[in-house]
Every structure is written in C-alpha cells, then in structure tokens.
Amino acid sequence: MMFNAEDIVRDNIKNLKPYSSARDEFKGEASVFLDANENAFGSPLSTAYNRYPDPLQLELKTKLSGIKGLPPQNIFLGNGSDEAIDILFRVFCEPILDNVILCPPTYGMYEVSANINNVQVKKVNLLPSFDLDVEGILSAIDSHTKLLFICSPNNPSGNSFHQDDIELLIQKFAGIVVIDEAYINYSRKPSFIRYLTEYANVVVLQTFSKAWGLAALRLGMAFASEAIIGYMNKVKPPYNINQATQQLALEALDNIAWVNQRIVETVKERNQLMQAVQTLSITQSVYPSDSNFFLAKLMDAKYVYDQLVSKGIIVRDRSRVELCENCLRITVGTMDENQKLITELKQIA
C-alpha cells in the first residue's frame, strides 16, 4: 500500500506558515548577535544560557544519527515523547472528525492527548495473552482513522508484541502506525527503526527517560520519514528543547558503554526480582517482561499496595486497568531497593 503523508495531513497544517525565529533566518558564522532581543550581558548562571538554543538541535541530531543509522532529517526531538505524541495528533487528526485506535492496557497519554485534541478514540483491547488483536484492529479501522498506537514493549504488561503482527498492521493500514519503543533497550527484539526505509507510514518513538536515566530532562525522540518529521517541525514551538538539555544529552551520548552496562544490570535484577515474586504465596502470576518493570497478579493487590505504601515502598496498582485486575506494576530498582521490596512482600505473605 503506497503511503503519502500529504494525503492525510490536516489542510490547515499543510498550509501553515510556521513561526520563523531569528536563528532560523540566519545560517553561518558570526561573532556579534543582535537579532533575537537576548540579554547580551549573560545571566547569573553562565554566559552559556543567555542565547536561544538551536531550534532544530542539529548537533544533537547529528550525533544521534551516527548511533541510530538515520539521517538527521529523519529525527524529531520533543519535550518528552509526550510532545511528539501531541504533535502527531495536531498534524494528522482533524478534531471531532477523525479517530485513532488504542490497544488497552497501554500508555495513558495516548488517550489523554486524543481527548485534549478532541479526537475520537477507538479501543481494541489486547487479547488475554496481552498480544495484539490484529483482526479486531483491522475491523475497527475506517476512512477517518489516522493513527494507530502500539507500545512495544508494552506498558503496563511489559511484553513485546509479535513482529509479524505489527508488520501486517503497517501493511494494511492507510494511516500512520506509531510504535512507542520507550523500553526497547531492555528487550532482545530489534527496533522498528530499521523498517523506516521500507514503510513510509511508521513513526518510532524512543526516549532518554528510561535506559539513559535522564527522565528529569524530558527528552523524547521520534524517527520517521522526512515528510512526517518536516510536518512535526512545522508545528512544534520554535525552541522546544532547551540548551541545558541539549548539552547534557550530548554528554550522555558519549557514555554508551556505561548505559549498556546499566541495562545489563537492570535486566539481571529484573529476572531475579520476578523469580522472587513468583515464589510468594500471594502471587498468582508474574507476566513475561522485556522492560525495566513487570506485571504481577496477586491475591489482593490493593491490600499489598497499601501495606507497601505504609513501609515507604511505592509500586503502581494497575487493578482498574483493562485485563489487569489485582495486578501491581513493579519497576526494577537497585539491588538494595529490590531486596527491601522482597523482604516486605514476604512479611505480607
């Protein structure tokens, strides 16, 4: 199926004249900048922060390009992945008229962004095995379905979806398949970034918040065709990624070996923690995970949650989410944190 982003982009976005910042208008070398109404005397912090940052984050994207194997023009950087999600709604979904498909249980911001943008949500629940209901998704698609969100590895279930299922949906859907890979670094499954040259209707989301350990920076990544990235850049605020975040992300990218070692340690701790929880008498099931968390079904999740809170240990009660009755989502902590959790759970059991 041939896909052209221009066929589904909103008309007002297609015709939008984006805001042009002072830094957009000047390309080249200069030593005196008197164009952007900045404070030339600096700030109490440092002279590094009195100037506006690069609106397109070209140095950071160039460095990412070498790591991800994609040209910089195929990369969008957002104020967290949430900004990229919101912009996809604003670029491709006409309020009231269009709809998107979500597959609960899944990341909650997809639905929140849809509601903010007044876009109808169609829900096709995962199967009891937490796999995609491919037939149900294909049946739910209509001429106004613009986006399909797939979180893989999935939050909160922790599992990766079958590659063949995702690829079939990409082939059959005339809209955009958004594959959220926030937890891909913890999985043995390959990223769908490698499919971007084959499929023009795929957007892959990744983040610096998880494996990179930079959640406080709020830096998300989107990888897609040059056409889709171009529309996203057209809509984003001119300086959406601040200078401090750009600098810290560049430093982090120089330490890939350190990050990879922490991933190995996290996966080891995850597997040991899952095994320990599985042996408890209060545990009904521990579901497979490709993430830095896992889902555990307990006899009385609310009671266990409350008991842990009273001991200063916070996990996530997902009992009210589809298919997750009596389930706690447990993030993998340090060795000491995990041991404290197990100690308390044994006392509760």
Q: What is the per-residue pLDDT across 137-185, written as a single tens digit (0 to 9) for each?
A: 999 999 999 999 999 999 999 999 999 999 999 999 999 999 999 999 9
Q: Hey, which bits of the chain come out as E strands?
A: 75-78, 99-102, 120-123, 145-151, 176-180, 202-207, 220-223, 283-286, 293-298, 316-317, 327-331
pLDDT bracket for residue 29 (50, 70, 90): confident
* Across 52-72, average pLDDT: 96
Strand-strand pairing, 283-286 and 293-298: antiparallel
Rounded Cα–Cα distance for residues 223 and 204 (Å) = 5
**Is the distance from CB of 88 to CB of 235 less than 8 angstroms?**
no
Cα 14 from Cα 91, distance rounded (Å)? 8
Nearest to 98 by CA among 133, 134, 142: 142
80 assigned to some structural domain:
yes
Is position 93 within any domain?
A: yes
Domain end point (choices 231, 254, 277): 254
CATH of the domain at 214: 3.40.640.10
Give the residue among 59, 56, 39, 57 at the shortest CA–CA distance from 48.
39
In a domain, 36, yes or no: no
Are residue 197 and residue 81 in the same domain, yes or no? yes
Instruction: Count Cβ neighbours within 10 Å for each residue of 248-269 and write b for 16 or more, e otherwise.
Output: bbeebbeeeeebeeebeebbeb
277, 229: one domain: no
The structure's pTM equals 0.96
Q: How many CB atoms lie within 10 A of CB 28?
A: 4
DSSP β-ladder status, 283-286 and 316-317: unpaired
Q: Tell whether the model's pLDDT for residue 209 goes beyond 80.
A: yes
87 domain-assigned? yes
User: Which amino acid, 320?
Assistant: R
Mean pLDDT of the chain: 96
Do 248 and 281 belong to one domain?
Answer: no
Q: What is the pLDDT of residue 42?
A: 87
Q: Which helix (H) or strand (E) covers residue 341, if one does?
A: helix 335-348
**C-alpha closest to that of 284 among 328, 348, 337, 321:** 328
Asked if residue 17 is part of any domain, the answer here is yes
Do residue 343 and residue 242 come from a single domain? no
**Which pair of tokens denotes residue 219?**
């830096």
230 and 285 belong to one structural domain: no
Task: Examine the domain organization and report whether 103 and 207 are in the same domain.
Answer: yes
Residue 1's pLDDT is what?
A: 66
- Which of the listed residues 254, 280, 301 is the one where a domain comes to its end? 254
Has residue 23 got a pLDDT over 80? no
Whole-angstrom distance, CA of residue 199 vs CA of residue 167: 9
19 and 138 housed in the same domain: yes
- Which CATH number goes with the domain that contains 295? 3.90.1150.10
**Among candidate residues 254, 277, 307, the one where a domain is terminated:** 254
The answer as to whether 14 is a domain residue is yes
Same domain, 119 and 246: yes
Mutual orientation of helices 58-68 and 243-253 as an angle, nearest 10°?
A: 30
Say if residue 20's pLDDT is above 80: yes
> How deeply is 4 buried, as exposed, middle or buried, from its count of CB atoms within 10 A (0-12, 13-18, 19+)?
exposed
Asked if residue 265 and residue 149 are part of one domain, the reply reads no
Q: Is residue 271 part of a domain?
A: yes
Contacts of 93 (CB under 8 A, 6+ apart): 10, 99, 100, 114, 117, 119, 146, 147
Q: Residue 29 domain-assigned?
A: no
Give residue 21's pLDDT band: very low, low, confident or very high (50, 70, 90).
confident
Q: In the chain, how many domains are there?
A: 2
Statement to judge: residues 79 and 101 lie in one domain: yes
Q: What is the pLDDT of residues 290-344, one digit of tens each?
A: 999 999 999 999 999 999 999 999 999 999 999 999 999 999 999 999 999 999 9
- Comparing CA positions, the residue from 72, 70, 141, 76 lying closest to residue 103 is 141
Quick one: 198 and 230 in the same domain? yes
Containing structural domain, residue 230: 5-23+54-254
Same structural domain, 14 and 91:
yes
| Span 214-260, pLDDT tens digits | 999 999 999 999 999 999 999 999 999 999 999 999 999 999 999 99
